[in-house]
Chain A
Amino acid sequence: MKFVAVIRQVPDGESRLRIQEGRVDLSGATLILDQMDEYAVEEALRLKEKHGGEAIVVGFGPERAEEAIRTALAMGMDRGVHVVFEGFADPVAVAEALVPVLQEEAPTLVLTGGQQADWDSQALGAALAEGLGVPVVAWTTVIELEGDTARAKHDLDEGAEWVRVRLPALFTTQQGLNEPRYPTLPGIMKAKKKEVRKVQAEVRPKVVLLSEEIQEKARLGRILDGKDPVAAAEELVRLLHEEAKVI
C-alpha cells in the first residue's frame, strides 16, 4: 500500500506578517509545515505502521518549501517529492500541477489538510480528487482500512457522517483525526539522508493575485475591572446598548 500526504509550507499563525508593495512579504516570517497538513502526515504514518507499505510526502511550493518536506521526513515519512514553483498559484492550478505526479505514484490513499493556512482555501483536496478521478472524504476524523475499502467519519456543516469508500480515495484531514508526533533528533538526522525528488511544476494559474493588505480592525480596547461583577456587567451592557448599539 502507498500512502501519500500532500503538504505545503505556510507562515506560522503567530508570526508577524508584513506587506511589501501590496503583497504579503514572508521573508521575516517563521515558515512551518501547515498544521492541517501535519494531520495528513501523521495519518499516513499510522496507516503505514498498521498496514505496511510506503508513506510518501509530496510538497508543493518554492525551494524553501523543502524544509516542510524535511519536517515530514523527520516525522517518519519514507521519501519526498518536491513539486517546485515560485510565486502564487491558486489551488486548482496547484492540483493540476500535482495530479501527474500523484498518478505516477499511484497511491492507495491521498491525504491533505482540510484548509490551507495561507490562502484560507479548502479546495485543494477536492480539486486533486477530481483530477485523480477518485472520491473525496472531506474533514475526516476517523479512517479505518477494510480490504480495498475505507470506512471513515467526517464532518458536515451540521453534524457528521460515516461513509464507506472504495480505494483509492482522497481524504482531507483536520483536528481530531490524530495527534501529530514531533520529529525526534534521530528522525531529523535520518531525514537529511532521505530522498527528495525535485519536479519542476507546470502551473497554469487561473486566479491572479492583485493586492494584499493587512486589515487589523482597530479595536476600542475598553476593558473594565470586574472586581464588582454586577457593576461591570451593567456598565458593559450599557456600552453595548448605547455606544455600540448592538443590543
Chain B
Amino acid sequence: MVLVVLDHDGNKLRKGTLEALTRARRLAEGLGEKVAGVLLAEEGAPLEEARKYVDILYTATLGPYTAERWAAGVLAAAKEGAKAVVVPSSRQSRTYLGRVAYALKAGLLEDTLDSSLEGGEVHATRYAYLNRVTQRVKAPLPVVLTVKPNTTPLAEPLGTSAEVVPLSVPQVPTVEVLERVAEEKKGVSLTEANVVVTGGRGMGGPEAFKLVEELAALLGGAVGATRAVVDAGWRPYGEQVGQTGKTVQPALYIALGVSGAVQHLAGMNKSKYIVAVNKDPEAPIFKHADYGIVGDVHHVLPALIEAVKKLKD
C-alpha cells in the first residue's frame, strides 16, 4: 500500500492533504497498490470525509500532538505494509518524519514539487540551498515523502467509503505538553494563500500593519512579515516569511518596505509574481521583483488600497 498521512484541522482535511492524496494515488497506480490513509487526532477528526478518499483508513486518537506520538502513529500504520508514506509538508510533519524515515530505514524526500515512479524507485524534484537550487533526487522503496503545498492538483473523492481500522499505537517516551500558546487566526493561511502581502522594517511600526492587513483582505490574501518585524515584536512569529519562518509560493507576493535579505528571499523567491515597494532604489528586493514602486510606503500603500478598491468597483 501507499500510506497518506491525512492532516486535518479537527473538522476538515487540509488542502495539502488533498494534494498528498493525488501524489499517493499516482504512486499507488504505478506500484499496483492500494491507497491507505492514517488519521491521527488529539480528539475529533473528519472520519467520514477521510473515508471517501482512501481504500483503507487507519485511525488513532493520541492526545496532544508531539513528534513522538505522531511518529509512532504513522509507524504503526506504515508497518501494515507501506511501500511509500506520503505526507503534506508542514513544519510539524517535517519534524516527526525524520523519526519515521529513520525507523523505517527509508529514503526521505522533503518538500517535493513533484514525484514519479521510475524503475521501482521514486524520483522527485525539490529546492535546496535556501530555495536557490532545484535538485532532482531519487530513493528506492520504502520512501517517505512530503508534498510541498500548492504543487499538486487536489484529489477528488473516490465515491466509496473505506473500511476503518483502529490502530494500536505503542506508548512512547515523549514531551509533556504544558501549555499551548495559540495565535490569533485571521483569514487564509499564509502557506496556502494565493496572495501574500508582507511588511518589512520600512513599515516603521506595528500600527502601519493595519493597512497591510487591509490590502491583504482586499486581495483575499494573507499577511506576512520579515524577521526584523517579528524580532521587533510588531507581528507574531507565525507570520514570518523566510529561512527561519515560513516558505510561501503564492501567485502574487507584495513586499512593502522589505529590503530583500537572502534569508527572506529564501522564503518567497518562488512566488509567481513579486511586487516591491521601497523608497531605496538600491534595495536588493528590486532585483527580484517583477513590478515595483520606488517610493515611500506610507504614501504608496494607501494609494494602492484605493486603486484596488477602484478596480473592484
Which A residues are within 8 Å of any B CB, using their own CB? 11, 13-14, 17, 24, 36, 90-92, 95-96, 114-115, 117-131, 133-139, 151-153, 155-166, 169, 172, 174-176, 206-217, 219-227, 229-230, 232-234, 236-237, 239-241, 244, 246-247
Contact = CB atoms under 8 A, between A and B. Distances in A.
B129 A118 contact: yes
B136 A212 contact: yes
B142 to A, nearest CB: 10
Interface string B235-253: 0011000011000000110
B210 interface: no
Nearest to A152: B175
B132 to A, nearest CB: 6
Given A24-B133, A216-B132, A244 B291 contact: yes
Interface in B269-313: 269-270, 272-277, 279, 281, 286-296, 299-300, 302-304, 306-308, 310-311
Contact of B291 (A14, A157, A209, A224): A224
Contacts of B126: 120
B91 interface: yes
Given A117-B130, A210-B138, A234-B307, A219 B274 contact: yes
B99 A127 contact: yes
Consensus secondary structure, chain B interface = mixed
B304 A237 contact: yes
Interface stretch (B18-26, B27-35, B41-49, B105-113): B105-113
B98 A219 contact: no
Contacts of B92: 156-157
A164 B129 contact: no
Contact of B294 (A13, A208, A212, A223): A223
Contacts of A158: 182-183, 185, 238
B67 A138 contact: yes
B68 interface: yes
Contact of B176 (A117, A164, A239): A164
25 contacts: A24-B128, A24-B129, A24-B133, A120-B129, A120-B131, A122-B95, A123-B94, A123-B98, A127-B101, A138-B67, A139-B95, A155-B238, A159-B183, A161-B181, A162-B181, A165-B174, A169-B175, A207-B138, A209-B135, A214-B132, A219-B274, A219-B290, A236-B275, A237-B310, A240-B252
Interface string B80-110: 0000000000111011111111110111111
The 7 closest A-B pairs by CB, nearest first: A226-B295, A126-B98, A233-B303, A123-B98, A206-B107, A13-B262, A163-B175
A247 B305 CA distance: 13
A124 B281 CA distance: 40
A92 B108 contact: yes
B258 to A, nearest CB: 14
A209 B137 contact: yes
Contacts of B294: 223-226
A240 to B, nearest CB: 7
B300 A122 contact: no
Contacts of A169: 175
